[in-house]
Amino acid sequence: MKSNALLFPCDVELLSMIEYIDFGDYTISGLVVLENSNAFATDDINIPIIDVTDVKYDAFDNVIVIEPDFYKHSFIENSIKKGKNVIYIGQKEKEDFDFKRLELISEEQQISVPIVFVVGTAPYTEKFQIQLALRKQLLANGYKVSSIGSKPYSSLFGFHSFPFFMNENKDDTQKIILFKKYVKCIEMTEQPDLIVIGIPGAIMAINKKHHFDYGVTAYMVSQAVAGDYVIMNMLYGKKYTTEQLEELSKVCKYRLNFEVDSFHLSNAWLDPSTLKDDQLRIIKLGKKEYDQNVDRLYDLMNPTDMDRVYEDMITKLASYNVNQIF
């Protein structure tokens, strides 16, 4: 019999992906949102949404915490005091990680299957949704896919989580070597047809105040493994041009060792008046308007556009004749 659990913290983005989650041994009895959250219930979500200030502690046995920043939240501390079982998603993966497996892999061993990167010009640009949609379409077409997700809670969706050691105080060269070995280990263990890697954060700074680690994570990943097909998720804007996207692709080529194959126009609009503020204001839009004549610019949340990019990706990978799979 499955044990009941609350999931915390939930936001609009997570709620939009809840159908894809495998909760394993737990039945989720509530989705806990932060106080004054803009997350709300929709007809396709049949799990109660609970404000963190309204939680009834006698109504659940377990809490699944999906974001490391909230491990010490007062709700979690109160749950522990009341004898609840707390499952820390990222911490469990860290404890279970076996570095000895990576030690058996040499630096010279190359990745022999295609790699697809999903990257973004900023956080909150629907990278994870695109990773999910891409994985779903590949599996539906009979491909064996391994995925490294850009979210701390990626394992809930059947992904490998982005490895914790990439955020530790290690030498960058060591991180690059370990990440390459991590990907090779997945390839050797699972023998996929291809690997989809979602890279957290952004590829570059917006300004000095909001630098998103200056794209260091994206740089390290691109030095560890080569991206054979790259999808770039963009902040929303009506006036992108083919020339602008070409220029961005060139920047990626010289900074990150890859060119962009397709651009996704996300629903995340950055309020320019907040560029000098401590906190950027990013608004999630409903309808997207853009010039559909701009080359390689798509709305990949639209199934028709996703089909086009999917076919383009398969065609490009087939041209490499990698393992004669595509």
Q: What is the pLDDT of residues 97-149, one digit of tens each?
A: 888 888 889 988 999 999 999 999 998 899 999 999 999 999 999 999 999 99
Q: What is the mean pLDDT of residues 179-188?
A: 95
Dist CA 148 CA 21 (whole Å): 15
Domain spans, the chain: 3-96, 107-324
Q: What is the mean pLDDT of residues 86-94?
A: 83
* Predicted local confidence at residue 90, as pLDDT: 79
Is 107-324 the same fold as 3-96? yes
For residue 198, is pLDDT > 90? Answer: yes
Location of structure tokens 């309020």: 271
Torsion of CA 59, 12, 128, 69, to 10 degrees: -60
Q: Are 300 and 309 in contact (CB under 8 A)?
A: yes
Q: Binning pLDDT at 50, 70 and 90, where does residue 194 land? A: very high
For residue 1, is pLDDT > 80? Answer: no
pLDDT by residue (tens digit) across 145-167?
999 999 888 988 889 989 989 98
CA 228 to chain centre: 18
Q: What is the mean pLDDT of residues 255-261?
A: 95
> Considering the chain, what percentage of its residues have pLDDT values greater than 90?
61
Contacts of residue 133, Cβ cutoff 8 Å, sequence gap at least 6? 300, 301, 306
Q: Binning pLDDT at 50, 70 and 90, where does residue 14 land? A: confident
| CA distances (Å), origin 283, targets 270, 272, 286, 312 | 6, 11, 10, 30
Q: What is the mean pLDDT of residues 220-233?
A: 97
| Mean pLDDT for all residues in the chain | 90
Q: Binning pLDDT at 50, 70 and 90, where does residue 238 land? A: confident
For residue 37, is pLDDT > 80? Answer: no
Cis peptide before 9 (omega within 30 of 0): yes
Q: Binning pLDDT at 50, 70 and 90, where does residue 25 land? A: confident
For residue 22, is pLDDT > 80? Answer: no
Assigned token pair, 268? 């995340």
Domain 107-324, CATH: 3.40.50.300
SS3 97: coil
Q: Which fold has domain 3-96?
A: Rossmann fold (3.40.50)
Radius of gyration of the chain (CA): 20
